Each structure stands twice: as structure tokens, then as C-alpha cells.
Amino acid sequence: MTIKFLKPAAAGLVAATLAFPLVAAAQQGAAWKPTKPVRVIVPFPPGGSNDIVGRIVANDISPLLGQQVVIDNRGGAGGIIGTEIAANSLPDGHTLLIASVAFAYNPSIYKAQVRFDPEKSFTPIALIGTGPSALTVSPKMPAKSTKELIDMAKAKPGSLTYATAGIGSFQHLSTELFRLQAGINLIHVPFKGGGPAMVDVIAGNTLITMGSLLQLVPHVQGNRLRLLAVGSAKRNIAFPNTPTVAETVPGYEANNWWGILAPAGLSPAIVRTLEAAVKKVVEVPEMQKKFESQGAEVAYMNAATYGKFIKAETTKWSKVVSDAGIKAE
């Protein structure tokens, strides 16, 4: 038997070919780490629910990533400005976006202004949590329940006013969904921001506001607003004695939600690292308690599931926009 040896060049080629799958596998399994501070864009001003959730998570995720995580508030145009900045950023893992339910309905309202594709311009990372809308009224209002409020609205159509952070805000859409399903007529009073809207209802100038419970908790606990019901499918842990809107208006459900997106084109390795970090942070019991104390709850979803969730939410809220005839100013 004759034994033939490969020439050095050929032997090198075979060795490289055999080694390539091993190198590729090692690279694929290697955990990505940021090399500079990570910017988390919040497309709304400080103090809102997006800002609150973003800061809670950023504080705990920073040690896991080994870099400072900086909140960058870029409010304006109902969240469109900050979202567009995120969409146009480099997909290197160093720029992230805190997205909320506004991400799902903005394209239906601001068709001319939106210069990004909600699906194609972003890579889903993870859903962080959800929080219900809250039907609240001024303490000057005689209504003590959802039924009493509906009865008042039906007795004097067009006499009751509700305040929102502006046309196309979560307060606007959640109240319009309530109005449509309850079969009542309410007068919309839009403000430039949730803060001024709440102040006006607390003063009794406008009578109703239906925003995220997360934002309204301090005012409810301080008896500056009266909480009639929550917009989740089940009663809220922080307010177990408060009924859901659906107990009076069957089928009603309006929840805000918060998740993390990144610019499109993010590598799978970066997605895995960020996804795992979010999961580790939100599933800690202390974090769950933080959310629950604010009337919200942790609702982690991985990247794939979160992407499907966004599509479903977009379909739901685009119908509300159409049925209510909501249009940008």
C-alpha cells in the first residue's frame, strides 16, 4: 500500500476548511459586550410612563452590560421624533429605544409625518411590562363608578369633558375606545402633555382623564383624582378593590406596554445579549414589586414573541383610530 502525503499548500487548505466550522461556532456563541455607554432613547419628556420604566430598567441593566446606560429623552410629535432618531442610529447595540403602545398606533394617525417603517426599521429585543389604563375623574365629579359615569353621559350627551396629553396620545385612544364601546358622547380637551391634562382634571376644569395607571398612582393615592376602574382584563394587584372597566363595559381592554427596540440590522449575537440581560433584570422579585407598586406588572417576552405582539397591537389600535376618526392636527 502506498501512502500519499498532501503538499503543504493543500494540507493547509484542508486544515483551514476543517477549522472553519469550529471558528464560526465559537464566534456565534461568543457573548457580545458593549464597548461604550449604551444610549436608551425615550421618545417622550421626563416624568411619563416610558421615562419611569426606562430609568428603572436602565439602572439595573447597566452592571450586566458592564457599561453605563444613559437615558436620552427625545420627546415631540407624539413620540415620532425620538423613534425616528433611534431608527436612523447605527445597529451596533449602543442605541436602544423604549417603545410603548404609541409605537403601534402612531403610523395610523401620523401617516404623513412617520418616516420609518415600524416593522422594517427596527429589531425587537424584549417586552418589559404592561400597565392598564385607568379611568379617573375629578373629585368634584359626583360619579363614583363607571356605571354612574356612563349614566351621566347618556343623560346629558356632550356635557362631560375628558383631558388628554394631545391628539393621538394613549389617553386619547383609550378614552375613545371606552366612548365607542360604552356608546356615549364625550368632549375631548387635548393638552400639550399629560402633566397639564392631569392638573386641569385635578382642578375640576375638565372632568375625566384616562391615562396609564403608572402615571396616575400618586394622584389617586393623594386623593387628587378618583379612580373608578382599570382598563386591564383582570383587577390590578395594587388596587384589588377597584373594578375593571370590562365589568361594566364587556370586552373593554386598554393597556400601555413598554419594551425595547433597536435599529434594524442588529446582529443575532447582540440581540441575544440584550434579550438575556432584560430577562434577568425584570424577573428579579424586587423588580416585579417595583412594577406592581406602580400599578403595572412585569410581562417579559423574548424578541420573537415581542415582534408578534407588536403586530397584533398595531392591528388592534389601527382599528380604533379608524372607528373613532382620529386624525393628526
Q: What percent of the chain has pLDDT over 70?
A: 91
d(CA 40, CA 42): 6
d(CA 305, CA 274): 15
Q: Is 275 exposed, middle or buried (0-12, 13-18, 19+ CB in 10 A)?
A: buried
> What is the pLDDT at residue 293?
87
d(CA 169, CA 79): 9
> What is the pLDDT at residue 30?
63
> What is the pLDDT at residue 33?
93
Average pLDDT on 236-262 reads 96
Average pLDDT on 226-250 reads 96
Average pLDDT on 126-155 reads 96
> What is the pLDDT at residue 73?
95
Specify the range with the lowest mean pLDDT, choosing from 13-17, 101-105, 237-241.
13-17
Q: Which residues pair with 100 in a beta bridge?
A: 258
- With a cut of 60, say whether residue 27 has pLDDT above it: no
The percent of the chain in helix, strand and coil, each rounded to the nearest 5, is 45, 20, 35
> What is the pLDDT at residue 194?
81
d(CA 238, CA 217): 9
- With a cut of 50, say whether residue 16 has pLDDT above it: no
Residue 244 DSSP one-character state: B
> C-alpha grid cell for residue 62?
447597566
> What is the pLDDT at residue 113?
86
Torsion angles phi and psi, residue 159, rounded to 5: -95, -20
Q: Residue 266: how many CB atoms within 10 A of its CB?
A: 23
Structural domains of the chain, with CATH: 38-131+256-324 (3.40.190.150), 134-247 (3.40.190.10)
> What is the pLDDT at residue 118?
85
d(CA 109, CA 117): 14
Average pLDDT on 250-265 reads 97
44-73 pLDDT, tens digit per residue, is: 888 778 898 999 999 999 999 999 999 999
Mean pLDDT, the chain, integer = 89
d(CA 100, CA 96): 13
